[in-house]
Every structure is written in structure tokens, then in C-alpha cells.
Amino acid sequence: VRAKQYVGVLSADQPMTLHKSGKDNFQVLSLSPIESNGWSLVGEVNKWVGVTQARYLEVTTTPTSILVEVTGVKGENVTVGFVSPEGELMTHSCIVPTEGVMKLTTQG
């Protein structure tokens, strides 16, 4: 999935534009910082709140990737989204192991 049409960089020169909506046609926006390596952690793309301290125990940025430590219930399917430096939305789906903690990375 190409995310460039949905991903933008906000600044004083490029503020966020919001469109008028009603109760039946609304927008859900998610903001996430772009790390120094160009990657961005979107989190769980199927949730109203993609990243929480309760789910993400640790987020580590390396020069070329992001590493996240995720917690959950044994057997739970967790899908985590990242946006690459090129603007591509990438998702990783994993089943939480018996220990209840798993690590995901953007590195191949």
C-alpha cells in the first residue's frame, strides 16, 4: 500500500488541513513522529488508538530501522504498521507467543 497520499509532513508552512464533517461522515487522523532514520511507527492500523504504553513496552530507533517490543495475550493476532522513509505503509502481523511479549522490526 502506498501511503504518500495519506502521509504528510506538518510544519508552520504546511499546517494540517481538516475538512468539515458531520456525524455520519467524519475523519479519523493519526499522527506519528518521523524518526531521524525516516521511519515512522503507525502502530495498530485497525485500532482507534494505534500506539499505547499498555501495548508497546519499548520502541527503539536504529540508524536504519525501528524495533518495537509488543505485549499481548497468548494467541492474539497483532498487526503493527510502519511508514518507510519512501512513504510506503508496511504492516507486520504476528501471533503473541506464550510469553506474552514479541519483538517486531522494520529491518528485513
β pairing state of 66-71 and 40-43:
unpaired
**One-letter identity of residue 102:** M
Across the chain, mean pLDDT equals: 88
Which of 15-19, 26-30, 56-60, 80-84 has the weakest average pLDDT? 26-30
Buried b (16+ CB within 10 A) or exposed e, 21-51: eeeeeeeeeeebeebeeebbbbbbeeeeebb
Q: How far apart are CA 56 and CA 102, in angstroms?
A: 10
How far CA 14 is from CA of 8, 10, 17, 72, 96, in Å, comes to 9, 5, 9, 37, 39
What does the pLDDT look like over 12-55, one tens digit per residue?
A: 888 888 888 888 887 777 888 999 999 999 999 888 899 999 99
pTM for the whole thing? Answer: 0.81
What is the pLDDT at residue 65?
95
